[in-house]
A = this chain, B = another copy of it.
Amino acid sequence: MSKSGSPIKQLPQFQYWHQKIETMPRGHLETLQLERLQNMVDRAMLTPFYAPKLKAVGINGSEDIKGLDDLKRIPFTTKNDLRDGFPYGFLSIPKEDVVRLHASSGTTGTPTTIYYSKDDLSRWASYVARCIYGTGCNHGDVFQNMITYGLFTGGLGFHAGAEEVGMMVIPSGSGNTTRQFRLMQDFGTTVVHATPSFLLHVESIMRAEGVSRDSIKLKRAFAGAEPYSEDTRRRIEELLHIDVYNSYGLSEMNGPGVAFECQCKDGLHIWEDGYIPEIVNPDTLEPVPDGEIGELVITILCREATPILRYRTRDLTGFYTEPCACGRTHRRLRRITGRSDDMLIINGVNVFPSQIEEVIMAMKEVGNNYLIEIEKDGVLDKLTVKTEVGPDIFMDDSRPLNSLRERIRKTLQASITINPRVELHESGSLPVSEGKAKRVYDKRPKDV
């Protein structure tokens, strides 16, 4: 049994998009990595950002990268570096050879921008295709891409990978839930890509609108773009009777297709022929012992237009140390529980939103949506957790509600050591975002 309870032994034989690479012996993989890292360092030397940085640590080109250990000599790159290098500090090919750019939304300042050559795009599509195919999909599947298209990499990235696999792609984009069911029913959608919060929302609305599960043929979902707990995955799987696969990517590393779950659904294989992952202590920046949690740092190995070395993702994860049953040799990352930036400090205690999600999504009586609110109450911080109740619970019967509320409060307190206020809301009444879910509302004054 996999972690999410699916009987993996009943699965058909594992399928590989590129078997030779996916099951390559570690030694060969590392030889390939070294060769590609050397190439990448030469590319980086062509950029205004890296040339002086690399020279400062005595690296003048690939000749100074003798082994993978030399990676550690290269300084880290941060999101702020990408901003400082805007717009062309990281570009290593002539502008005329760029065929696409993606940019972060830039709500807080300068956007971070990634450029792609034609070959970069086809390589990216092939990594996404590898992820999709590895979950058991093939060209007979109907794929509905329920995520934002445009500057965000999630939409166009999955779109290209799914077309490469040859699935019938429905570019439905995000939002418009009722239309999404209609499309699933009309075209027999078998696979969707969405944020986990949108999947939960879809299930709530299906139930509210009386859409029967039998009217859709859904088998699988790829869920990503926001961190979510194993309990949330299990909840989506049980409610929709599907397999949910965890997807990881970030625009700095192309977008989706960096790491993905195979049919074992037990950790995300990071494609080490395309990326070198490291896990470091975010304070000391030293590597953590194998298997421990730390900040994920990634070096991209195959991109002509925008080389990025040792990028600090802020995402917290660790490696599984044992090999995977699927036969792939590329290491697995643990579910990403959050970003180091997401950490809330509430009355001096470190709390991750994922800890709260884990508690409430494990309770059957709790509905599909929740919000976290932090306010200042005098000198103290006040944490309120608002959750929806399940659709079968009526808000006019106060006794069971009081008992549920108290149970949530106690379990949360045991987990995060803070005593939260818990509010119960009617099913479907809390606000839903169409893109990445906004769950945390920190209303404390910024300058305190």
A residues apposed to B, CB below 8 Å: 86-87, 95-103, 106, 111, 115, 118, 121, 139-140, 149-151, 155-156, 159, 163, 166-173, 179, 182-183, 186-187
Contact = CB atoms under 8 A, between A and B. Distances in A.
Question: Which 7 A-B residue pairings sit nearest by Cβ, starting from the closest?
Answer: A149-B149, A150-B173, A98-B168, A96-B140, A99-B163, A100-B169, A150-B171
A32 to B, nearest CB: 28
A99 B168 contact: yes
A170 B166 CA distance: 25
Contacts of A101: 168-170, 187
B151 A172 contact: yes
Nearest to A140: B96
A85 to B, nearest CB: 13
A166 B155 CA distance: 21
Contacts of A106: 179, 182
Contacts of A168: 95, 98-101, 115
A185 to B, nearest CB: 10
A226 to B, nearest CB: 20
Contact of A149 (B96, B155, B166): B155
- Please classify the interface of chain A as helix (H, G, I), strand (E, B), loop, or mixed, using the class held by over half of its residues: mixed
A260 to B, nearest CB: 21
Given A115-B168, A121-B163, 8 more contacts: A99-B166, A99-B167, A99-B169, A101-B168, A101-B187, A111-B186, A151-B170, A156-B171
A173 B102 CA distance: 12
B166 A151 contact: no
Can you tell how many copies of this chain the complex includes?
Answer: 2
A100 B163 contact: yes
5 contacts: A97-B139, A101-B170, A102-B171, A106-B182, A150-B172
Contacts of A187: 87, 101
A130 B162 CA distance: 26
A228 to B, nearest CB: 24
A139 B98 CA distance: 8
A67 to B, nearest CB: 37
Given A150-B173, A171-B150, A139 B96 contact: yes
Residue of A95, A99, A139, A167 ringed by the most chain B CB atoms within 10 A? A99
A183 B171 CA distance: 24
A87 B186 contact: yes
A102 B168 CA distance: 11
Nearest to A171: B150
Contacts of A151: 170-173
A78 to B, nearest CB: 20
A150 B147 CA distance: 10
Contacts of A139: 96-97, 99
A159 B166 CA distance: 19
